[in-house]
Structure 1
Amino acid sequence: MTDIIIPPNTARIRELNDAFRSTFIGGRVFITEGIRARGQAFESACVEAVQTFSDFTEDNDPYHEHNFGRVVIEGTNVFWKIDYYARDLAHGSENPADGFHTTRVMTIMLASEY
């Protein structure tokens, strides 16, 4: 296995991602139709599980950014993913560690929708 090089701004990216994931403040959150189709209780359980997620490991977070995770709700695999965009949402962020110039976009989806 190749050693992964962790950039020096990773701690700041992780801090911003954790704050956004746990509060949904500082970006946009999209919940897919697959999640919504399962009803409000399922959707609420997904949101709560994502906001309280803390099971980051080398396997699921190799770059230490806390930008992806998997939770299991009612026996169903649910993924969440944070992407980094420029404030105008027209292209990717040049510096995800810059919370002012970056808009975080989280998608919560069924694993089958990934």
Structure 2
Amino acid sequence: MSNDDYHFSDLTKVNSAELSKEERAEAIAQLNDTFRQTFSGGKVVGTQRIGALTADERTRIPDAVREFTGFQKGDSPYGERDFSELKVGA
């Protein structure tokens, strides 16, 4: 499967009973990857900690998020690539 297999308009496919648990997790992961790379199809929010960064530090975050691929099994236990920790260096 590639990122071209699922799009935000395909949410009914993700919720389909025809998908196995693994296929559903991969479909959600692809949607999450697409959103993370494009910031399209969802809402970007930031924590108070991000708001406390300097303007220069905050400008580096979007590119770091778009390029992030370092998900670990413990970060994303359901395989949906929806949670991790990202450190943006100074």
TM-score bracket for the superposition, by shorter chain length: 0.5 to 0.7
**2:47 alignment partner, one of 3, 22, 32:** 32
Displacement after TM superposition at 1:56 (Å): 1.5
Displacement after TM superposition at 1:69 (Å): 1.4
Gaps of 5+ in 1: 1-5, 76-114
Q: Secondary structure at the match of 2:43?
A: strand
**1:59 alignment partner, one of 60, 64, 74:** 74
Gaps of 5+ in 2: 1-19
Give CA-to-partner distance per residue, 1:57-92, whole Å, 9 cap, x none.
Answer: 2122221101011111237xxxxxxxxxxxxxxxxx
Q: Which amino acid aligns with 2:31?
A: L
State the identity %.
Answer: 31
TM-score, length of structure 1 as denominator length: 0.54
Specify which structure has the higher proportion of helix: 2
Question: Distance in 1 between the 2:63 and 2:51 partners?
Answer: 14
Greater mean alpha carbon deviation, residues 18-27 or residues 53-62: 53-62
Specify which structure has the higher proportion of strand: 1
